[in-house]
Amino acid sequence: MSNDKQDKQFVTEITPQGEDFSRWYIDVIKKAELMDYSPVRGCIVFRPDGYEIWEHIQQDLDRRFKETGHRNAYFPLFIPESFFEKEKEHIEGFNPELPWVTEAGGDKLEERLAIRPTSETMFGHMYSKWIQSYRDLPVLINQWANVVRWEKRTLPFLRTSEFLWQEGHTAHETETEAREETMRMLEVYRDFVESFLAIPVITGQKSPSEKFAGARDTYSIEAMMKDGRAVQAGTSHFMGTNFAEAFEIQYLSRENTQEYAHTTSWGVSTRLIGALIMVHGDDRGLALPPKVAPKQVMIIPIGPPKTRDMVVGRADELFAELKKAGVRVGIDDRADVRPGWKFNEYEMRGIPVRLEIGPRDMENGVCVLVSRITGEKKQVALENIVTEVQNMLEQVQQEMYDRALAFREENMHEVDTLDEMKAIMEEKRGFFIAGWDGTIESEAKVKEETGATIRNIPFQLDVQKEKCLVTGEPAKHTVVFARAY
Amino acid sequence: MSNDKQDKQFVTEITPQGEDFSRWYIDVIKKAELMDYSPVRGCIVFRPDGYEIWEHIQQDLDRRFKETGHRNAYFPLFIPESFFEKEKEHIEGFNPELPWVTEAGGDKLEERLAIRPTSETMFGHMYSKWIQSYRDLPVLINQWANVVRWEKRTLPFLRTSEFLWQEGHTAHETETEAREETMRMLEVYRDFVESFLAIPVITGQKSPSEKFAGARDTYSIEAMMKDGRAVQAGTSHFMGTNFAEAFEIQYLSRENTQEYAHTTSWGVSTRLIGALIMVHGDDRGLALPPKVAPKQVMIIPIGPPKTRDMVVGRADELFAELKKAGVRVGIDDRADVRPGWKFNEYEMRGIPVRLEIGPRDMENGVCVLVSRITGEKKQVALENIVTEVQNMLEQVQQEMYDRALAFREENMHEVDTLDEMKAIMEEKRGFFIAGWDGTIESEAKVKEETGATIRNIPFQLDVQKEKCLVTGEPAKHTVVFARAY
């Protein structure tokens, strides 16, 4: 295949975002080898580059959980059917999505076992055994696990039948402490998603119809994708005593009375990988923030065959130096592949910084760093390579956040009426800020006519709307509407 | 409750090993809060102290896997029934242990889905898609996951229906490379288990009747528990082209021919936690090697009430200093619990080193370190506390290995005949080194009459037996027999 042909094939393999965003997404994640479809409906294979993104997410979040006093544990995959019947809202929420094990070891089971869609009930059951007295509280446990929700319509990473997540479950003496925990973990998520994934989010409370099945209050962080849709990037729930009552999590209080514990739960999942791609990617492919990128820097030696050995030798030294400094660095020194092809390839794979070095650079004691996100080229001194690379990685991380934030600001629309919202929607993507009278009916009408749901009731907004966009009645809340993944 | 009563209750709660080893084991893991039984048959809950042992195992092994060129990925939990039929030995090996999902999302499934007992077949299926040419090889992927085998008789950690493990699956151009990989990973396991878990192991090859369902050759590391039984602590399999043929993992060779890849797989599981407890524990409870212990050092301030604030203040400083140096340290400064009770408690929990500090110690600028495993007390200068603690942790790690090795040596019995083996077995626990003629019949006869199986054919033995213990025919191999968990 000629080089021209290579390049052309390359470009045509990714559908432009503007043409078909969903196809762009699938093209990119397949081509960048983040995932593959499996023979089981709705279940994907996380390939090494996709899974490593999850590993970096896990590592950083896990540290944050431990710093806030949580420990990890592991609870069984199977949930007895009877457990779901203890919390009524919970079973109604999850029943349609459960896969059931009915046979095992050659025998029919007496009681069907669900594959966990969440471990709420199993934690509840065990907590009722472990918690006796106020001295046992708080209990602060997190679990990293696979869960299954049999989804009718699936989309890799964003909505798959099996997915990976973490679920924190805590129990407390008082409502105040449990509410503080709920907010603490929401804030852990916000800070993590913004600083580590470079995704700006809107924090707020879910409307009653969108809250977790069995929760008293649900809070979320919501991110805007490049097609203007929302992804709920993390949730934190205050359960009140709902689960404690259902599972009899009671403790002897300081006043010697039996009380129900106040519980919380909170989780993020591999859908964060989907959000990451849809927030930062472009028509050239993936773009990964340095903190989460499997490879942060790719070194590509350039120049004619006669200087090749010399340049590759120096490139290997740079590789070793950067690796030693903790930079996740790769090198592509293949002689039979053109640099131009490599540039495209690693841009498509979203590697934040490319390091080019050729014979003339070597003479001058320099090399060139290229930012994936801005295309900026910077000549830097080889003797400062570690610092220069680290600076550029920081800069790219910040620029990616800034760009995502600017994009979101551009695509926030303030509306007064449903008609106005529908009119804007015909031309523009994005989130809609509007007043809401707090009724299920108004919320439902917006959804019916636009497909948009209340993402959350933001804690902080520059504007407060006075009237409901549907009824014109006084607004109870100013909310964010959007179509969501 | 008086202090005497506290102490007495404490001691009587753990059955002595000599009285009933199985009860000792269950008493210890429950009392040390490593696990709890779940409402699902054969599935346990890994409580934080149990799970953290697994986290340390994961972290260290994962580093070793990555250093040997492997990457992690994640494959689906569900395996279509048809997949098991592709490799005949494989289905025969696993069929009796599979749980089946037959309904999901409210509908009966057209094809039943097994919960993975291992992902061999799913890796095989995906590798057949990913591998086209010798340029794609080797593929070196590992997965950390939960797997399920519906066991009739279960024992926490050692044999549970659901357990956690890692499974490496690799594909290679040549048999030589695949065999090298098989041995490389066996060696990774040996070194890890010996140096990190302080458990000496015997490396060798499994007899044909004990090899993995579908493998050409299986290799294992075998450890001796304190009751003389064996635990298979890790296995590495050379698959030949068995799975490649079953799943059509073919590649275009350098000679432009279609060839089957040579594959391997290797794994260790949470049964390592069980082995850890049974190798090192004693009548006082758990004993954890420092490298894997959730808490390596527990600080206990002592002395009369009037000096309490001063001593606790200094203890807090030591805590901070040790923590900063990367030591996993805890402090128990409760005023309403006697030091003696605390000593027992943390010995029972297996914390490798106790740090005692009282008012007189403070005057002298010293504190006392106590080894969990030898009971040795050492007075050390506070100004060198970090070094002293680190030295003692290293010493305890080494002593635990040495003790376990000495125990194993004491309990290895060389035998010439089955009758001799049976006679020794009536009085002694342990492993038996004997000649074996290589026939299934002789192996089966030993098992039938003693319950012992061939653990493996060791690579290195000081002795080579000339005759089979059963038939007296020339021995094909010198092997290790033992009853096993």
List the CATH number of the domain containing A464: 3.30.110.30
Cβ within 8 Å, pair B72-A83: no
A78 closest CA partner among A105, A50, A99, A92: A99
pLDDT value of position B105? 84
- pLDDT tier at A36, thresholds 50, 70, 90: very high
Cβ within 8 Å, pair B146-A141: no
Cβ within 8 Å, pair B105-A162: no
* Cα three-residue angle A350-A352-A355, rounded to 5 degrees: 115
State the SS3 of B203-244: EEECCHHHCCCCCCEEEEEEEECCCCCEEEEEEEEEEECHHH
Q: Residue B200, CB half-sphere, CA atoms under 13 Å: how many?
A: 15
pLDDT value of position A370? 98
In the numeric block, the tokens 């930012």 are attached to A371
Contacts of B141 in chain A (CB under 8 A): 48
Q: Do residues B333 and B307 both lie within one domain?
A: yes
In the numeric block, the tokens 């000792």 are attached to B24
Residue A67 in domain: yes
Residue from the list A51, A75, A76 with its beta carbon closest to the beta carbon of B74:
A51
Residue from the list A46, A101, A125 with its beta carbon closest to the beta carbon of B115:
A101
For chain B, the first-to-last Cα distance in angstroms comes to 40
- pLDDT tier at A12, thresholds 50, 70, 90: low
pLDDT value of position B85? 81
Report how far residue B483's alpha carbon sits from residue A326's, in angstroms, rounded to the nearest whole number.
47
Report how far residue B187's alpha carbon sits from residue B219's, in angstroms, rounded to the nearest whole number.
10
Residue A173 in domain: yes
What is the DSSP code (8-state) at residue A238? E
Both tokens of A201, joined, read: 């989010």
Contacts of B74 in chain A (CB under 8 A): 45-46, 51, 54, 164
Contacts of A101 in chain B (CB under 8 A): 99-102, 115
H helices then E strands: how many in chain A? 15, 23
- Shortest distance, CA A366 to any CA of chain B (angstroms): 31
β-bridge partners, B133: B252
Q: Do residues B250 and B315 both lie within one domain?
A: no
Report how far residue A274's alpha carbon sits from residue A50's, in angstroms, rounded to the nearest whole number.
10
Residue B329, phi then psi, degrees to nearest 5: -120, 145
- Residue B352's SS3 state is coil
* Cα three-residue angle B101-B214-B59, rounded to 5 degrees: 75
In contact, B68 and B61? CB cutoff 8 Å: no
Q: Do residues B381 and B449 both lie within one domain?
A: no
Query: What does pLDDT average to over chain A?
Result: 95
By CA distance, what is B33's nearest residue in A?
A: A130
Residue from the list A36, A52, A126 with its beta carbon closest to the beta carbon of B45:
A126
Report how far residue B44's alpha carbon sits from residue B37's, in angstroms, rounded to the nearest whole number.
5
Asked whether the predicted pLDDT for residue A3 surpasses 50, the reply is no
Asked whether the predicted pLDDT for residue A394 surpasses 50, the reply is yes
Last residue of a domain, one of A333, A363, A395: A395
β-bridge partners, B412: B431
Cis peptide before B138 (omega within 30 of 0): yes
Residue from the list A106, A129, A148 with its beta carbon closest to the beta carbon of B36:
A129
pLDDT per residue over B300-312, tens digit each? 999 999 999 999 9
Q: Do residues A257 and A367 both lie within one domain?
A: no
What is the DSSP code (8-state) at residue A173? S
Cβ within 8 Å, pair B97-A105: yes
Contacts for A294 with CB less than 8 Å, ≥ 6 apart: A48, A49, A52, A53, A56, A288, A328
Q: What is the CATH number of the domain that holds B231?
A: 3.30.930.10
Q: Do residues B68 and B210 both lie within one domain?
A: yes
Both tokens of B370, joined, read: 């106590």
Report how far residue A272's alpha carbon sits from residue A157's, in angstroms, rounded to the nearest whole number.
8
In contact, A452 and A197? CB cutoff 8 Å: no
**What's chain B's Rg over C-alpha atoms?**
25
pLDDT value of position B6? 47
Both tokens of A108, joined, read: 């029919």
pLDDT value of position A5? 47
- pLDDT tier at A8, thresholds 50, 70, 90: very low
Last residue of a domain, one of B337, B368, B396: B396
- Shortest distance, CA A92 to any CA of chain B (angstroms): 13
Residue B371 in domain: yes
In contact, A247 and A86? CB cutoff 8 Å: yes
Asked whether the predicted pLDDT for residue A190 surpasses 90, the reply is yes
Q: What is the CATH number of the domain that holds B368?
A: 3.40.50.800
Q: Do residues A213 and A306 both lie within one domain?
A: no
Q: Do residues B301 and B167 both lie within one domain?
A: no
Q: Do residues A258 and A311 both lie within one domain?
A: no
Question: At how many degrees (to 10) do helices A271-280 and A385-410 cross?
Answer: 90
In contact, A158 and A274? CB cutoff 8 Å: yes
pLDDT value of position A334? 95
Residue B112 in domain: yes
Q: Do residues A348 and A378 both lie within one domain?
A: yes
Low-confidence spans in chain B with pLDDT less than 50: 1-8, 11
Report how far residue B259's alpha carbon sits from residue B249's, in angstroms, rounded to the nearest whole number.
8
Report how far residue A283's alpha carbon sits from residue A28's, in angstroms, rounded to the nearest whole number.
9
DSSP, residue by residue, B148-183: E---SS-BTTTB-SEEEEEEEEEEESSHHHHHHHHH
In the numeric block, the tokens 């060129």 are attached to B69
Question: At how many degrees (to 10) do helices A48-67 and A271-280 cross?
Answer: 110
Residue from the list A36, A72, A122 with its beta carbon closest to the beta carbon of B126:
A36
Q: Do residues A251 and A155 both lie within one domain?
A: yes
By CA distance, what is A153's nearest residue in B?
A: B105
Sign for the pseudo-dihedral over CA of B414, B416, B420, B426: positive
- Shortest distance, CA B358 to any CA of chain A (angstroms): 27
By CA distance, what is B99's nearest residue in A?
A: A104
Sign for the pseudo-dihedral over CA of B104, B108, B109, B113: positive
How far is Cα of residue A190 from the mean position of the Cα atoms in its chain? 11
Domain count, chain A: 3
Cis peptide before A117 (omega within 30 of 0): no
Q: Chain A to chain B, count of Cβ pairs less than 8 Å apart?
A: 147
pLDDT value of position B213? 85
Q: Do residues B232 and B336 both lie within one domain?
A: no
Residue B454 in domain: yes
Please classify residue A110 by burial: count the beta carbons closer than 10 Å to its beta carbon, then call 0-12 exposed, 13-18 middle and 19+ buried. exposed
Tell me which residue range forms the domain holding B473.
414-482
Contacts of A44 in chain B (CB under 8 A): 76
Asked whether the predicted pLDDT for residue A89 surpasses 90, the reply is no
Residue B5 in domain: no
In the numeric block, the tokens 């959000």 are attached to A275
A379-385 contacts: CB < 8 A, separation 24 or more?
Answer: A382/A314, A382/A318, A385/A318, A385/A321, A385/A322
Both tokens of A52, joined, read: 């490593």
Report how far residue B317's alpha carbon sits from residue B299's, in angstroms, rounded to the nearest whole number.
11
Contacts for B309 with CB less than 8 Å, ≥ 6 apart: none
Report how far residue A435's alpha carbon sits from residue A472's, in angstroms, rounded to the nearest whole number.
9
In contact, B322 and B389? CB cutoff 8 Å: yes
Report how far residue A262's alpha carbon sits from residue A173's, in angstroms, rounded to the nearest whole number.
6
State the SS3 of A30-59: HHCCCEEECCCCCCEEECHHHHHHHHHHHH
DSSP, residue by residue, A292-354: T-S-SEEEEE-S-GGGHHHHHHHHHHHHHHHHHTT--EEE---TTS-HHHHHHHHHHTT-SEE
- Residue A11's SS3 state is helix
pLDDT value of position A459? 97
Query: Testing the interface with B: which of A33, A51, A130 to mutate, by most B Cβ within 10 A?
Result: A51
DSSP, residue by residue, A399-453: HHHHHHHHHHHHTEEE-SSHHHHHHHHHH--SEEEEEE-S-HHHHHHHHHHHS-E
- High-pLDDT (> 90) share of chain A, %: 92
Residue A2, phi then psi, degrees to nearest 5: -70, 165
CA distances to B302, B341, B342, B481 from B5, rounded to whole Å, are 21, 11, 14, 45
pLDDT value of position B152? 86
Last residue of a domain, one of B370, B396, B422: B396
Residue A107 in domain: yes
CA distances to A112, A295, B148, B159, B275 from B164, rounded to whole Å, are 22, 28, 9, 11, 15
Q: Do residues A305 and A270 both lie within one domain?
A: no
Both tokens of B134, joined, read: 């010798």
Report how far residue B183's alpha carbon sits from residue B237's, in angstroms, rounded to the nearest whole number.
9
Residue B12 in domain: no
Instruction: Report the amino acid identity of residue A454.
Output: I
Asked whether the predicted pLDDT for residue A264 surpasses 70, the reply is yes
pLDDT per residue over B425-461, tens digit each? 999 999 999 999 999 999 999 999 999 999 999 999 9
